[in-house]
Amino acid sequence: MDTPADRSRILLSIPVFNEARYIENVLSKATRFARDILVIDDGSSDETPLMLAEHKVEVIRHAENRGYGRSMQDMIRWADFDDYDWLITMDCDEQHEPAAIPDFVKAIGDDDADVISGSRYLETSSMVDTPPEDRRRINSTITNQLNETLNLKLTDAFCGFKAYRVAACSKLQLDVDGYEFPMQFWVQAVANGLRIRELPVSLIYNDPGRSFGGPLDQSGNRLASYQETIQRELERCKDRLSLCRNA
């Protein structure tokens, strides 16, 4: 008997920004597990565009760097426009293992969630590396805040390795272009009644010193920005959240 995953159209999408040193390895592996692949080139200035041309993947290229959140918005819009049932997202810096894609496909087949979110902390056995202390602290702080505010049970609010039910997520009003995007997404997901589950993935850090850009490189600024986004979105969605709590 086939499963919902067997009958689903699934798009794998990867945001990239100056990822020339990783693209060949990541895409070569990803094509083993995904038929349809979309890459969002967020204004790369290195050899990324030339390397992408060597692979049979769809590419959206931003003329300038517009941010992680904008890339995520483009992925969801593309998947919705092209009638995909599910969108799987992963990063291109080798922190997400393409070999885990079948795990997400299997979870899609369970048909019990609208968002299947990778977690690097759900199982300690998945920890290949130790995360930078400030990133782990901020992740823990924000994850706890979202859990307490939204009655969630997340263990990892920031992992970009996810599967999204396109029909459910395309209705969200997502407009945060930067790294604060996940904060907006979680609030809106709850406000719109999306079913959420986590899936363990490996914790891998190849570039602990990677820049977030400008003021966000300072951990205090980063935390404040994330919290401001949460508060702004809570206010924006307060009526729907109230209905969810009273349902």
pLDDT in tens, 165-192: 999 999 999 999 999 999 999 999 999 9
Tally of CB atoms within 10 A around 102: 13
Instruction: Give pLDDT, residue 210.
Output: 65
Contact 86, 163 (CB under 8 A): yes
Q: For residue 215, is pLDDT > 90? A: no
Domain count, the chain: 1
User: What does pTM read for this prediction?
Assistant: 0.92
- pLDDT, the chain, mean: 90
Q: DSSP for 81-121?
A: HTT-SEEEE--SSSSS-GGGHHHHHHHHHH---SEEEEESS
Q: For residue 216, is pLDDT > 70? A: yes
CA dist 234 → 64, 123, 163, 188, 218 (Å): 30, 30, 24, 8, 25
197: domain CATH number is 3.90.550.10
Instruction: Give pLDDT, residue 2.
Output: 61
Residues, the chain, total? Answer: 247
pLDDT in tens, 15-49: 999 999 999 999 999 999 999 999 999 999 999 99
DSSP three-state, residue 207: coil
Q: For residue 212, is pLDDT > 70? A: no
- Strands (DSSP E) contained in 2-143 are 10-16, 36-41, 58-61, 86-89, 115-119
- Structural domain harbouring 220: 4-246
Between 240 and 144, the more confident residue is: 144
The two three-digit tokens of residue 47, written as one number? 């050899």
